[in-house]
Amino acid sequence: MRSPVTSDNPSRRAPIGRRASRRRAVEFLYEAAQREADAVTLLSERVGSVDVDPISDYTISLVEGVTARRERIDELLAEHAQGWTLSRMPPVDLAILRIGVYEMLWSADVPDPVAIDEAVGLAKELSTDDSPRFVNGVLGRIGNIADRLRAVL
């Protein structure tokens, strides 16, 4: 099935690595949260724009996947972020966590340890000094039960 966001112009899609694609997805999710906008709508506005750097298919896949499954992802985060509510989390950490959970549970080609490691790396790069440990802890707890979760999704 063709993504509603994907541009018909291949030059508007970027063949960039997954790490950069994840970072770009975090940026879209963060911006959408700050603007109280739909991330997929924001993304589709940007894909066709000549004023924006090309957007990779993996970035599109992450933003669409997180958006489509956000309710379930947020339930899991609320359940496993011990002592934290979603509203208390720094918005960038929440975007990183959402991508991490999405990759662990719905991206069959991304092993759980890779999803966690990539999320921790993004937290080191984009957030506070305490964020990598927090992201690692939350995703680690979800990772411990990921097989059971995937079985019922």
Confidence of residue 12 (pLDDT cuts 50, 70, 90): very low
What is the model's pLDDT at position 90? 96
60-74: pLDDT as tens digits? 999 999 999 999 999
In the block, tokens 């970035």 appear at 59
Predicted model pTM: 0.90
pLDDT reported for residue 3: 61
Q: How far apart are CA 26 and CA 54, in angstroms?
A: 16
Q: Which CATH architecture has domain 14-152?
A: Orthogonal Bundle (1.10)
Half-sphere exposure of 21 (CA within 13 A, CB side): 19
36: left (phi over 0), alpha (psi -120 to 50) or beta: left
* pLDDT tens per residue across span 35-57: 999 999 999 989 877 778 889 99
With contact defined as beta carbons under 8 Å apart, do 82 and 42 qualify?
A: no
Q: Are 104 and 142 in contact (CB under 8 A)?
A: yes
